[in-house]
Amino acid sequence: MANPSADSNPIDRLSNLPDELLVTILSFLPTRIAARTSVFCRRFRHLWEASPSLDFDIRYISFPKTDNFCAMAKRVLLSRNPSHPLLSLRLEGNFDRSASLLPSLFAKARSLNLRQLTINCHFSKFSPFLPIIFTINSLRCLSLDCSLDPAISFPSGITLTCLRSLSLTLRGTGPTNLNGLLSELCSLEDLQLYINITHELSLSCQTIRKLKLIIAFSTQKLEILGSCFPSLESLHLEIQNGFGCLSQSHIHGEFSLLRKAVINLHRLHEGDVSAVARLLNCISHVEELSLHIKEWEFEKYPIPTLMEPGKDVPNFLKLQQLDVTLCFHEHNFEAVTRMLHNSPVLKSLKLVHEIPKFTGCARGRKRKDWGSRLPRNADRNCRYAYFKDLHLEKKRKEVIKLLSKKCSSKRQAHSKLGMNAV
């Protein structure tokens, strides 16, 4: 039943909003959706054209409608009123059929002092557009994902003095002049690099404060870190297929300004352990450290993936928060315990047991060898543990005693088995 007290003529609150606010609302919509508001009324006919954010997504546009997209792009950008600023431009989809339109779009964006440019497209040849893109001197943020062009060469003489954030996704072997590009970006502070590389990788930049490096696959030597990041404060390093590539890596340097580090290493082999130890030595000044390490799925018996047996553990003098996700068998659990001893100001410790897969590719595995060595928590679960207030001496001694007892009990069980065997 309808509410008799309800107003039969509701107030049109949308029409009462000022044009500036309506344009801001439309800027959050993809351009092809915002353009549909032109049929609402005469006031909305040209309102969407003033949006400071343009999103050209042609992933779902069929080939016969490509001409319609070109007409819309010319209307909203090429014929744009200079009094309407353009802050953000996003291109997504396959632009091979509309490639002839792109140079004029980029030139117009340059004249409108574009701030943020995102390109996530499928190009067979993207390199010819790079000289135009790298002349948009007003750019603050630039994101490039060129999935079909395997050989990209960045132009020289770049003058992007305002660029603060750069994100590159390179599917091929990667450019040979990447360091040359970084050296010319004098204001770059945030670098995100997604790369599928099969040759030596060495990076250097004096101004980068935040680095996110994701390597999908590698078969040769990696020079990932060095003394060439003096301003680095945050590091996110992920190697998705590290089998064998870390054993030859040249990882060195000290990062005194590093505050936060996230390390994700997958498919580690026994020969990669020394590189992991060198990496931890490089980042020993961190205050927050998150480790996620997975062993190679073909390993039959547990191997130490966090620390080399018999080697000294680095001193984490500033470490306050430690999160570790790995398979907590005997070797790895003992390594974390040693890290706790060498972290005098640690406040919180989070441990998560990564259960290995028992599939046909790892026949002969015994679950008891790969079981968690973590102490049971309040939920009677030994797959995760969380300790806080470790900066308090009493609490710290209790946790160290608990973890040390867990290690010692495991070693005693192994010694008894050895005596029984004799």
Residue 422 has pLDDT above 50, yes or no: no
Is 222 a domain residue? yes
Distances in whole angstroms, Cα of residue 17 to Cα of each of 9, 25, 54, 339? 18, 11, 22, 59
DSSP-derived pairing of the beta strands 348-353 and 234-239: unpaired
Q: How many domains does the chain have?
A: 1
Amino acid 291: pLDDT: 93
Is 173 a domain residue? yes
Which residues are CB-neighbours of 357 under 8 A, at least 6 positions away? 297
pLDDT tens sequence across 243-267: 555 655 666 666 778 899 999 988 8
Dist. CA 401–CA 366, nearest whole Å: 29
Is 7 a domain residue? no
- CB distance 325 to 293 below 8 Å: yes
Structural domain containing residue 315 = 52-421
Amino acid in position 342: N
Is 257 a domain residue? yes
3-state secondary structure the chain: CCCCCCCCCCCCCCCCCCHHHHHHHHCCCCHHHHHHHHHCCHHHCCHHHHCCEEEEECCCCCHHHHHHHHHHHHHHHHCCCCCCCCCEEEEEECCHHHHHHHHHHHHHHHHCCCCEEEEEECCCCCHHHHHHHCCCCCCCEEEEEECCCCCCCCCCCCCCCCCCEEEEEECCCCCCCHHHHHHHCCCCCEEEEEECCCCCEECCCCCCCEEEEEECCCCCCEECCCCCCCCCCEEEEEECCCCCCHHHCCCCCCCCCCCEEEEEEEEECHHHHHHHHHHHHHCCCCCEEEEEEEECCCCCCCCCCCCCCCCCCCCCCCCCEEEEEECCCHHHHHHHHHHHHCCCCCCEEEEEECCCCCCHHHCCCCHHHHCCCCCCCCCCCCCEEEECCCCCHHHHHHHHHHHHHHHHHHHHHHHHHHHHHC
Share of the chain above pLDDT 70, in %: 78
pLDDT tens sequence across 165-223: 999 887 655 555 677 788 888 889 999 988 876 556 677 788 899 999 888 765 555 55
Tokens standing for 154?
């960045």
Is 26 a domain residue? no
In this structure, the number of other CB atoms found within 10 A of the CB of residue 40 comes to 12
Mean pLDDT, the chain, integer: 78
pLDDT tens sequence across 333-367: 888 888 888 899 999 999 999 887 766 566 667 77
Amino acid 201: pLDDT: 67
Is 300 a domain residue? yes
